[in-house]
């Protein structure tokens, strides 16, 4: 009778092999999930960067309409047309992208112009995006490049 009690106690719970299989399955799910999570974050960052570049282009046109055709840097856009304060400074980093703006004043027969770039931080596994974006005062679209900073000669989105 006592032998049956001890056998019943020993058969309860998981044995080592079952526990190792469960841990392996959990590890596999975490591995697949983290890859999907990174991919989703990159896609979201890219969509946000393209939308932000388009907003900055619109804000520059609003600023130029109020200021005799002159264009602004990020700090001036924050003050005058309510650009998000995260864009303060020369090269702000927002949602994993580094933004830069170049403003050229009017001279002689040349009108004032601007260009805006958005480049992902990092490369490889730690990249926050794969595409580089560009727009300027002569374009009504956003240009992109997958391998290097985008320019006016790249294809449109």
Q: Which residue has the tokens 């294809």?
A: 155
Residues 33 and 27: their CA atoms lie apart, in Å, by 10
3-state secondary structure 84-133: CHHHCCCCCEECCEEEEEEEECCECCECCEEEEEEEECCCHHHCCCCCEE
Residues 79 and 89: their CA atoms lie apart, in Å, by 12
Give the mean pLDDT of the chain. Answer: 87
Q: Which has more pLDDT, 129 or 10?
A: 129
Query: Phi, psi (5° rounding) for residue 140?
Result: -115, 10
Could you tell me which of 108, 111, 40 has the C-alpha nearest to residue 71? 111
Question: Sorting pLDDT into bands at 50, 70 and 90, what band is 136?
Answer: very high
pLDDT recorded at residue 54: 93
Mean pLDDT for the stretch of residues 53-75: 92
Say what the pTM is.
0.78
Residues 13 and 17: their CA atoms lie apart, in Å, by 12
Strands 97-104, 113-120: pairing is antiparallel
Give 155's DSSP letter: P
């Amino acid at each position: 009778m006592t032998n049956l009690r001890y056998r019943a106690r020993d058969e309860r719970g998981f044995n080592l092999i079952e526990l190792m299989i469960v841990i392996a399955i959990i590890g596999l799910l975490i591995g697949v999930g983290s890859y999907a999570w990174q991919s989703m974050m990159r896609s979201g960052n890219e969509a946000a960067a393209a939308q932000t570049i388009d907003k900055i282009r619109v804000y520059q046109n609003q600023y130029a309409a109020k200021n005799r055709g002159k264009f602004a840097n990020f700090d001036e856009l924050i003050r005058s047309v309510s650009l998000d304060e995260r864009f303060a400074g020369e090269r702000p980093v927002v949602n994993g992208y580094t933004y830069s703006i170049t403003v050229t004043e009017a001279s002689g027969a040349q009108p004032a112009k601007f260009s805006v770039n958005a480049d992902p931080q990092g490369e490889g596994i730690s990249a926050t995006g794969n595409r580089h974006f560009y727009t300027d005062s002569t374009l009504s679209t956003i240009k992109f490049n997958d391998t290097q900073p985008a320019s006016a000669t790249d294809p449109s989105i």
